[in-house]
């Protein structure tokens, strides 16, 4: 009898400890929900809209009963083109129903949060450290003042069952920032990377008629220009290496040390339009196995930098209307390389 009483008392003692722990956990969760509710569903400046879809993907789980209507009305419908046409096309017919039907969206969102809760909660906390409304409005207003053309763009910050876009999209109105893409640094990408991505949309407008717009050189200038635009956007108060893929000073020094060799070896691929060449795919083809970051981002930035050195501090604006071959020729970069 004593053993039974002791066992019952121990069980009661252990059980009595649980509500305190659960209470703390519940209070933290409630605080996260409260802060999420204060985030605007969208931020718009001019023709550019940023949609905080992740907010409603989490809030759909706030109540005991999963809020499937919120998923349809506040996650799927606000950016239906992205889900249907971009994600639906990228991931093929076998996965399309996850993206292009309300039922499919409801189904995966219902389990996705619970199955990835630790990682998702961490991402949400990272997002909550950013004053999204202020940061986005400041970035978008300044962007409009700097560029010759403002694209009509829609960018969604979201979780998705299959990652593949990262920070990008199928067109200006189908852009995404995948919070569950673990290759992305959330704070850097949204605070520093936003001007970079938006500049791609502007540059794309001007190079659309260029028959060589798909060449490796053109893509190199595109990425390098986006990096240089970021450098200028922040008034050159960030370092060059931070503007280029947020690389370290050691990474930057590695590239400078191998600059002549890099240019000499990748130049034969400038006209290639396959996309499968060492300049664009060094990660796969390993022309420079020790390269710490992406070759064409860095090389494009260096070419743009030399162009600006030669033509004046505001001449970066010329790049929008010049063909990639013209940028390279007028930059004097090749002459600079020959003298190294």
Integer distance in angstroms from the first to the last C-alpha of the chain? 91
Domain-located, residue 233: yes
Question: Is residue 27 domain-resident?
Answer: no
Residues of the chain with pLDDT under 70: 1-26
pLDDT at 9: 38
Question: Based on the domain organization, do 174 and 227 belong to the same domain?
Answer: no
- pLDDT (0 to 100) of residue 25: 66
Residue 3 lies in a domain: no
- Rounded CA-CA distance 321/315 in Å is 11
Q: 191, 224, 251: which is the final residue of a domain?
A: 191
**Residue 37 and residue 160 in one domain:** yes
> Do residues 183 and 262 both lie within one domain?
no
Q: Are residues 175 and 74 in the same domain?
A: yes
The alpha carbon of 18 is separated from its chain's Cα centroid by a whole number of angstroms, namely 40
The beta-carbon contacts of 96-105 under 8 Å, at least 24 apart in sequence, are 98/161, 98/162, 102/71, 102/72, 102/76, 105/71, 105/72, 105/75, 105/76
Token pair 């490796």 is at which residue? 216
Identify which of 205, 199, 210 has the alpha carbon closest to the alpha carbon of residue 300.
199
Q: What is the pTM of this model?
A: 0.88
Q: What is the number of structural domains in the chain? A: 2
In a domain, 293, yes or no: yes
- Kindly state whether residues 58 and 171 are assigned to the same domain: yes
Q: What pLDDT, on a 0 to 100 scale, did the predictor assign at position 29?
A: 85
Residue 326, classed as helix, strand or coil, is helix
In a domain, 28, yes or no: no
**303 and 180 part of one domain:** no
Q: Are residues 48 and 182 in the same domain?
A: yes
- Is residue 4, in this structure, part of any structural domain at all? no
* Cα-based distances in Å from 286 to 59, 263, 295: 44, 15, 11
Q: Which domain holds residue 314?
A: 210-338
For tokens 């083809």, the residue is 285
Say if 21 falls within a structural domain.
no
Same domain, 137 and 90: yes
85 and 133, same domain (yes or no): yes
- Domain assignment present for 295: yes
Nearest to 337 by CA among 262, 249, 236, 227: 262
Report pLDDT digits (tens) over 254-295.
999 999 999 999 999 999 999 999 999 999 999 999 999 999
Residues 179 and 267 reside in one and the same domain: no
**Pair (171, 136) in one structural domain:** yes
Check whether residue 179 and residue 236 sit in a common domain: no
């Amino acid at each position: 009898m004593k053993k039974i009483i002791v066992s019952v008392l121990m069980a009661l003692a252990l059980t009595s400890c649980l509500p305190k722990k659960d209470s703390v956990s519940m209070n933290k969760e409630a605080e996260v929900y409260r802060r999420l509710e204060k985030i605007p569903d969208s931020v718009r400046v001019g023709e550019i809209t940023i949609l905080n879809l992740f907010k409603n993907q989490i809030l759909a789980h706030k109540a005991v009963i999963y809020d499937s209507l919120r998923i349809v009305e506040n996650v799927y419908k606000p950016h239906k083109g992205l889900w249907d046409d971009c994600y639906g096309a990228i991931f093929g017919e076998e996965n399309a129903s996850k993206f292009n039907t309300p039922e499919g969206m409801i189904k995966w969102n219902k389990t996705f949060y619970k199955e990835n809760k630790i990682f998702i909660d961490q991402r949400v906390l990272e997002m909550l450290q950013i004053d999204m409304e202020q940061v986005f409005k400041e970035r978008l207003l300044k962007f409009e003042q700097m560029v010759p053309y403002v694209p009509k763009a829609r960018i969604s910050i979201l979780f998705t069952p299959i990652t593949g876009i990262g920070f990008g999209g199928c067109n200006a109105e189908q852009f995404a920032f995948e919070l569950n893409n673990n290759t992305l640094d959330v704070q850097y990408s949204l605070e520093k990377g936003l001007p970079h991505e938006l500049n791609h949309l502007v540059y794309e407008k001007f190079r659309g008629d260029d028959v060589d717009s798909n060449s490796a050189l053109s893509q190199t200038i595109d990425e390098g220009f986006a990096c240089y635009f970021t450098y200028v956007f922040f008034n050159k108060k960030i370092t060059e290496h931070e503007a280029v893929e947020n690389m370290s000073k050691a990474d930057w020094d590695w590239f400078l040390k191998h600059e002549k060799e890099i240019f000499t070896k990748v130049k034969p691929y400038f006209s290639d339009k396959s996309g499968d060449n060492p300049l664009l795919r060094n990660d796969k083809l390993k022309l420079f196995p020790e390269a710490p970051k992406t070759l064409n981002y860095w090389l494009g930035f260096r070419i743009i930098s030399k162009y600006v050195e030669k033509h004046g501090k505001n001449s970066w604006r010329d790049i929008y209307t010049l063909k990639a071959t013209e940028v390279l020729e007028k930059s004097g970069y090749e002459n600079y390389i020959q003298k190294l």
